[in-house]
Amino acid sequence: MSLLRRHRDFRLLWIGETVNRFGSATSAVALPLVAISLLDASTFEVGVLTAAAWAPWLLIGLPVGAWVDQNHRRPLLLGSSAASFLLLATLPVAAWLGVLTIHLLLAVALLTGAAAVLFQTAYTAYLPTLLDPADHAAGNAKLHGSASAAQLAGMGGGGLVVQYAGPANAILVDATTFLVALACLAAIRFRERRTTEARRAGLIREGIQLVARDVWLRTLTIFGAVSNLALMGYQAIVVVFLVREAGLSAGTVGALIAAATSGGILGAFLGRRLAARFGTARALLLCELGLPTLALLIPLSSVSPWLYLVGGFGVSLGVVGGNVIKATFQQSYCPPELLGRLTATASFLNYGTIPLGALLGGTLGELLGLGPALWITTAGVPLAGLVLLCSPMRGRRDLPTYQGAVVPGVRTDSNREQMA
């Protein structure tokens, strides 16, 4: 019997997370459209609005990780969903009253971004406590697959709702998704055990040291940062390239991006199957180094849009498949009481490169032209996989399953503690 059918609480978490991701993806499209259509926002203001959603990872990501590790995770999930609902619900009310401003929109984007940091960190640490270790891989595959589908539907749905229901009503629909997520999470019966770790100072430092001193966690974190830099570099300019260089209409571009992103859905279900067949280390290299080489087809989209579809599909498949493998590894490898700090520290670095990647892509496009800039940034996607290839992962079939496992030829702090 499938995990969704036999595990009621996981089914509720899955629905809540999927709806939450759908709402977040809808916000990413709807908020800029509201700014443009209702407030006549400038290009710079729309850029700041987009950056505001990611800024909380840099501002509060590390302390949130320490906080999550010292508190029950389910109340934090409930609180973040409720906050997102209330914050977004203020926008249509303000629009109906005629008091909506760009400053209010920026404030809501920043605060809902902070709620997303809390939700993502708490959910990552909560899942391993809800499921048995044997179910971690299946749980991660289902959650990543539904997240990709929800993101795909949310990005497409956000524009449609604004077009047919109006900007204010689109935000109301968005807010409702978080209310649905709140109801699902509230219905979970599982109750976590009270934490046995005393509250103390230095937890943020411990999270940084956890990543910096462990060869596996350090490698995956550096890879994630470099990979996101390249991914956002090409994604920041690919729409402009498809319209101006490939000569495609806005509708065709949207359909192509949606179809290419659907590779993530397939990647979510193939990730753990590849890991079972070839080993977790080899499957991760295939997903993060092999499949992303298809990104080099994207600059050839001016020849045929089908090349963008193949390239983008391959990148999405590899990225999401790799994410499933990495998430399952971290949940089995890292002690449960440290998962919150691990998630926050890694996300602080990984998501911190997202605005830098967008800035890099735009700058290269301005200085070198869209074609050369797209070649440089898409080449960075498979090249990021060299971080994994130059690590102890090379030549291994599987990643270790617990912290302290001895790596042949490598001595780390955790190895020394294990052997002491």
Residue 404's SS3 state is: coil
Rounded Cα distance between 21 and 23, Å, is 5
Domain ranges of the chain: 1-189, 203-404
List the beta bridge partners of residue 410. 407
Among 252, 232, 276, residue whose Cα is nearest residue 377: 232
Query: Which of 192, 271, 224, 262 shows the shortest CA–CA distance to 13?
Result: 192
Tokens standing for 244?
A: 């101006």
Amino acid 2: pLDDT: 65
SS3 string of 99-168?
CCCHHHHHHHHHHHHHHHHHHHHHHHHHHHHHCCHHHHHHHHHHHHHHHHHHHHHHHHHHHHHHHHHCHH
Q: What was the pLDDT predicted at 254?
A: 63
Fold of 1-189: Growth Hormone; Chain: A; (1.20.1250)
Contact 317, 270 (CB under 8 A): yes
pLDDT at 222: 92
Q: In this structure, what are the phi and psi dihedrals at residue 72, rounded to the nearest 5 degrees?
A: -65, 140
Query: C-alpha distances in angstroms, 307 versus 135, 260, 298?
Result: 37, 10, 6
- In b/e form, how buried is each residue of 119-143, taking b as 16+ CB within 10 angstroms? bbbbbbbbbbebbeeebbbbbbbbb
In this structure, are residues 267 and 319 in contact, taking their beta carbons and an 8 Å threshold? yes
Cα 108 from Cα 49, distance rounded (Å): 10
Q: Model pTM?
A: 0.67
Q: What is the pLDDT of residues 340-384, one digit of tens each?
A: 777 778 878 887 787 778 778 878 887 888 889 899 999 999 999
Give the pLDDT score at 20.
76
Low-confidence ranges of the chain (pLDDT < 70): 1-4, 29, 33, 42-44, 46-47, 50, 136-137, 140-141, 144-145, 147-149, 151-164, 167, 192-204, 250-251, 254, 402-420
Q: How far apart are CA 317 and CA 140, in angstroms?
A: 15
Tell me, what's the pLDDT at 418? Answer: 35
**Topology agreement, domain 1-189 and domain 203-404:** yes
Alpha carbon distance 316, 352 (integer Å): 20
- pLDDT score of 144: 65
With CA atoms as reference, report the closest residue to 392 among 406, 410, 405, 404: 410
Sequence-separated (6 or more) residues with CB below 8 Å from residue 416: none
The amino acid sitting at 275 is: A
Predicted pLDDT at 414: 40
pLDDT for the residue 405: 47
| Options 3.40.50.800, 3.40.50.300, 1.20.1250.20, 3.20.20.70; CATH of 203-404 | 1.20.1250.20
